[in-house]
Chain A
Amino acid sequence: MWGVTFADMVYRYRQFLIAVVGAGLVLSMGLLLAGLAGGFAAETQQTVGGVGADRWVLADNAHGRITGVSFFTQAAVAAVGAQPGVTRADPLFVLPQQVAQVGDSTVNVNLFGVRLGGLGDPTAVSAGRTLSGPGQVVADNRSGASVGQQVRIGSTHFTVVGLIADRTILGGGPIFYMDLSDAQRLAVGGRALVTAVVTTGVPARVPGGLALFTSQQVEQATLASLGAADSSINNSKALMWLIAAIIVAALLYVSALQRVRDFAVLKALGSSSSLLFLSLAIQAVVITLLAAGLAVILAQFMGGIFAQPVAIPSSAYATLPVVAVVVGLLSSLVALRRATGADPAAAFGG
């Protein structure tokens, strides 16, 4: 029976090829969507982890989100730094979703005001140099800025002195690192306020109104602010699996319609209904597995079409064959009745 199954696939290879390409494209979109969701987690981890802090002290009403923009006095930096167990404490001023003019482009950027040489000051620049004083920014590559370029935020002009890779947040929003005083001037008129204190070592306690978080807690809380987007992406991903199933099911249904006489003949020759269904199911699974293989290849080339960072998690690759098998089996159910309902007596007659 397996000979019949695979010979039929070779015989109708054009039909099957169309289904493999169609389902492969859809599955690759599913992979890319998984990559987008993965990109949210990856960029947050890189950005938060890139600060190099053991602990984060945030206003307790920020609930661990560094993008929460909840200020507190800069004096808290010294208070936290004085705590036993703390070897270093530095201020951070995070100001998300600011409009920057980069050349002719208007770009939404996230500002990170840092103490020069302190935690959070970006040192691993990919081009140019690190910050050396006010009026300078180190920009993420995705902003489109180049070293030496003048950028404008509000009415203030900055010089791009360095570029850095993979420093984005909130779904691919590039980060501009600048001196703390610049961020304070842009956001709060130069007042001595900060949105976070980052430490090496673990403070025993923090001043009232503030709360202590690990980097992992900060990552998770910050990611939670993207919950709606993440949910939409996951729903879209499920929709992609469904569309793939519909494509394969449509092919199998048409194929089963074309093979009604074959099914009748095979039954007349002694095949059971379950064997016929198994044959269809195997065809469906082979199609979806081939489509999954194609999807993996396509996803490598299609990631660049998204502005957001795409980080396809290895779990997505691992589950794709499982998804393919499930999609294939569900698809074959559509043709089940055609196969099992074939009347062997129909093999007679012209």
Chain B
Amino acid sequence: MSVAELSVDNLTVEFASAGYTIRPLDGLSFSADDGQLVVLLGPSGCGKTTLLSCLAGLLTPTSGAVRFDDIDVTGLRGPARADYRRHTVGVVFQAFNLIPSLSARANVMVPLRLAGVKRSVAHQRATELLASVGLDERSHHRPDHLSGGQQQRVAIARALVHDPPLILADEPTAHLDYIQVEGILRLIRSLAAPGRLVVVATHDERITQLADRVVELRPHLSADQLVPQEVVLEAGRVLFNQGDPSDFVYLVESGQIEIFRVDEQGQEEHLTLINPGRYFGELGPILNLPRTASARAVGPTVLTGCSVQQFRTRHPGQPTGAPEVPAGA
């Protein structure tokens, strides 16, 4: 039996969206050992799905490397990549993504048939797996005649059908009620065993209790990590760039801050100027989103940076959630 070990090294993914360069993954590194259940934790938009796509060999990163076992996943191309998808990875999609025209059993058979396995063998294997997830009585039903939990079980059976050493699950509990959640999590937990690594992407922190390893894609900084600080900038110095992690809310004490965006061609778009007494940069830390614009000192500028909680304590009633400065700052 091969040892299922995963390493992600300095992984960066960039793409253009609405004229701007988005970087959902920026130098991410982590590793996981055989038999572990790894939870990728983070809010929507933090790059969980992008990371899963890279692990599944569906997306080529801008830079960095993914290795699984002895396979350089990021270096795979063409038939080798298709072969990796057919034999090494099993994927459980967020919305189940069963083929609506096929029965539960036929859905489970699809990966095997695509890999060239004989129909009779695929049929036998699918029947066994559906029985193992408690759906032997429903194997001839189409997805629209199955509950959400049953569909997710079929999706899990499909992911397991070719006995892959790497299972990827994207928000596996997103469309389920709490009774169904318990069953699915129990099933997923049982999948992580020697010879198999399971990676689950979720924004649900409760799942971390089941994990052997948690990878936070957008780590929250605690208040004691964010000590209020005075920032002194020379003219032209950049305070933060768009795409950077959000930490502080800034109050301009003196000088002036320009908020701007950079499009995918590298052209700057001026958004606004922040004058003394005004604050900016509150939405990023409130929503745990990266900076969606850059900030630069126009002249010699002094600011105070503090956490959202500290800012609220010092300035009751602010920030209110209504943007003090245009969106993005």
Total cross-chain contacts (CB, 8 A): 81
Q: Residue B174 contacts which of A266, A271, A275, A350 (CB distance < 8 angstroms)? A: A350
B34 in contact (CB, < 8 A): no
B58–A344 touching, CB < 8 Å: yes
Contact with A along B140-154 (1 / 0, CB 8 A): 001000000000000
Known: A270-B111, A345-B58, A348-B53. A7 touches B101 (CB 8 A): yes
Instruction: Give B48's nearest chain A residue, CB to CB.
Output: A348
Cβ-defined contact, B56 with A1, below 8 A: no
List the A side residues contacting B115 at CB < 8 Å. Answer: 270
Provide the residues of chain A in CB contact with B83, threshold 8 Å. 270
Judge whether A348 and B114 touch: CB under 8 Å. Answer: no
What residues on B are CB-neighbors of A3 within 8 Å? 102, 106, 109, 113
Q: Once bound together, how far apart are the Cα atoms of A8 and B58, in whole Å?
A: 25
97-115 of chain B: CB within 8 A of chain A: 97, 99-102, 106, 109-111, 113-115
Chain B residues whose CB sits within 8 angstroms of the CB of A266 once the complex forms: 99, 110, 114
State whether A11 and B52 are in contact (beta carbons under 8 Å apart), knowing that A268-B85, A271-B114 are contacts in the complex.
no
Docked pose: A3 CA to B170 CA in angstroms: 27
Interface string of A268-293 (1 = CB under 8 A from B): 11111001000000000000000000
Residues in chain A near residue B175, CB distance under 8 A: 350
Kindly state whether residue A185 has any CB partner on chain B within 8 Å.
no
Q: In angstroms, how far is the closest chain B Cβ from the Cβ of A266?
A: 7
Given contacts A269-B85, A269-B111, A348-B49, A4 and B56 within 8 Å (CB-CB) = no
Partner of A4, one of B58, B93, B101, B170: B101
**Which of B59, B82, B94 contacts A270, CB < 8 Å?**
B82
Known contacts A348-B170, A350-B171, A11 near B82 by CB under 8 Å: no
A269 contacts B171, C-beta separation under 8 Å: no
The answer to whether A265 touches B94, judged by C-beta atoms less than 8 angstroms apart, is no
B91 CB within 8 Å of chain A? yes
30 sample A-B contacts, Cβ–Cβ < 8 Å, listed by A number: A1-B113, A3-B106, A3-B109, A3-B113, A4-B99, A7-B99, A7-B101, A7-B106, A11-B100, A265-B93, A269-B86, A269-B114, A270-B82, A270-B83, A270-B86, A270-B111, A270-B115, A271-B114, A344-B85, A345-B49, A345-B53, A347-B58, A348-B58, A348-B170, A349-B94, A349-B95, A349-B170, A350-B94, A350-B95, A350-B174
A residues whose Cβ falls under 8 Å from a Cβ of B: 1, 3-4, 7-8, 10-12, 261-262, 265-266, 268-272, 275, 343-345, 347-350
